[in-house]
Amino acid sequence: MTIHRGRGFAAINYPIGMNLGGDPSQALVHSNPDGKFMVALSSIDLGQGMKSVTRQIAAETLGIPVEDVYVDTADSDTGPHCMGSFASRGTHRVGNAVIAAATEARAVMMEAAAEELEVNAEDLVTDGKGNIHVKGAPSKSITTAAACNAAQFKQGKTVSGRGIFLVPLSDVDPETGEMTPVTCFAHAAMIVDIDVDDETGEVNVVEMNSCYEVGRALNPRLVEQQLVGGAWMGMSHTLWETTEPYYPDRSHGPVDFNDYVMPGPGDIAPHHISVLERPAPDGPFGGKGPGEMCANPVLPAVTNAVFNAVGVRIDDLPITPEKILRALAAQGGARPQPKW
């Protein structure tokens, strides 16, 4: 009847976007005569922040405050085709499509401003606060609102843009498996500390320390949301969840959240996260999507920690008290391993 502390490590990478490519997304960006922009998508926000990150990407590309742009999604009548929100493709594919569309819209806006100011468009910059001015001469300026108004009512220009991002579909060799899976990968490493009770078989996650490389943290709060929530889900996969507790036997399959157990607010562990950013050459501002890979390193880190704590290998997820107790009995008791 002892509580054994154990520590486990895991390292992973993760492919960004739908495997083999061939998964396009489109975006449309247009302004009203007030210089307020709308990004029209058919992409889905599941909670990962699709609407928010595309809004920031559009604002950055257009060179305007984020308050001057909204994202409208998802309506198949007004939003152009998008493959969907899965495979960590949203930031990468939709983000790039938004950049392409916003780039085109921006060009028209700058041209309209140039005509109003009677200068060349190449000499103009945006200040990110709603103004367009001559490089080095901030007083020679016009608001984005006035430029868009002039475009609409005086010049007859549409301040709008279209964008599509497609990674061309890759073949797969039947004999060797040669393929181009994706164009960039995210990375992660994780150390998990746990306690194992050798009398009850219960595992308590004590602490998680991680490092995730995400290309570019487009919004640090959204990245944090994904990494914290995803690591929780990884913990849940390893020690709690299954629809078939006696797989491949289907008996005792849970039908509600009483039986489909997941860690609750009293079961969570402190998680210390470090984030690295090595921009993907073809990511939007280098961004890779952190939404899926955040959970993955936790699973093996925990199984390795269990071995470190009590010397048994549970290679069959989820790790349950029953599996630990049976393994300990077969082993003749806990055998804590040397700590690193």
- Give the integer Cα–Cα distance in Å for 66 and 97: 18
Which of 136, 153, 281, 330 lies at the binding interface for other proteins (CB under 8 A)? 281
Which of 34, 143, 189, 195 lies at the binding interface for other proteins (CB under 8 A)? 189
Which of 178, 199, 322, 335 lies at the binding interface for other proteins (CB under 8 A)? 178
**Residue 104, class by beta-carbon neighbours within 10 Å (0-12 exposed, 13-18 middle, 19+ buried)?**
middle
222 touches other proteins (CB under 8 A): yes
Q: Is the dihedral of CA 256, 260, 265, 267 positive or negative?
A: positive
Q: Are strands 137-143 and 185-197 parallel, antiparallel or unpaired?
A: unpaired
**Choices 138-146, 197-205, 264-272, 328-336; region in contact with other proteins by CB under 8 A:** 264-272
Q: Are strands 185-197 and 271-276 parallel, antiparallel or unpaired?
A: unpaired
216 touches other proteins (CB under 8 A): yes
- Going by C-alpha positions, the residue among 20, 82, 92 that lies closest to residue 283 is 92
Name the one residue in this structure whose structure tokens are 């490590």.
9
128 touches other proteins (CB under 8 A): yes
- Give the integer Cα–Cα distance in Å for 255 and 69: 43
- Closest approach of Cβ 123 to other proteins, in Å? 8
Residues numbered 31 to 90 that lie near other proteins (CB under 8 A) are 41-49, 51-52, 55-57, 59-61, 63, 65-66, 70-77, 79, 81-87
Name the one residue in this structure whose structure tokens are 């006035």.
146
- Per-residue contact string for residues 94-123; x = within reach of other proteins by CB under 8 A: --x--x---xx-xxx-xx--x------xx-
- Closest approach of Cβ 118 to other proteins, in Å? 14
- Beta bridge mates, 209: 191, 272
> What's the distance, CA 210 to chain centroid?
16
Which of 213, 289, 310, 324 lies at the binding interface for other proteins (CB under 8 A)? 213
**Residue 318, class by beta-carbon neighbours within 10 Å (0-12 exposed, 13-18 middle, 19+ buried)?**
middle
Which of 136, 315, 330, 332 lies at the binding interface for other proteins (CB under 8 A)? 315
7 touches other proteins (CB under 8 A): yes
Which of 142, 190, 312, 324 lies at the binding interface for other proteins (CB under 8 A)? 190
Which of 229, 323, 325, 326 lies at the binding interface for other proteins (CB under 8 A)? 229
Which of 33, 130, 253, 321 lies at the binding interface for other proteins (CB under 8 A)? 253
- Give the integer Cα–Cα distance in Å for 98 and 87: 18
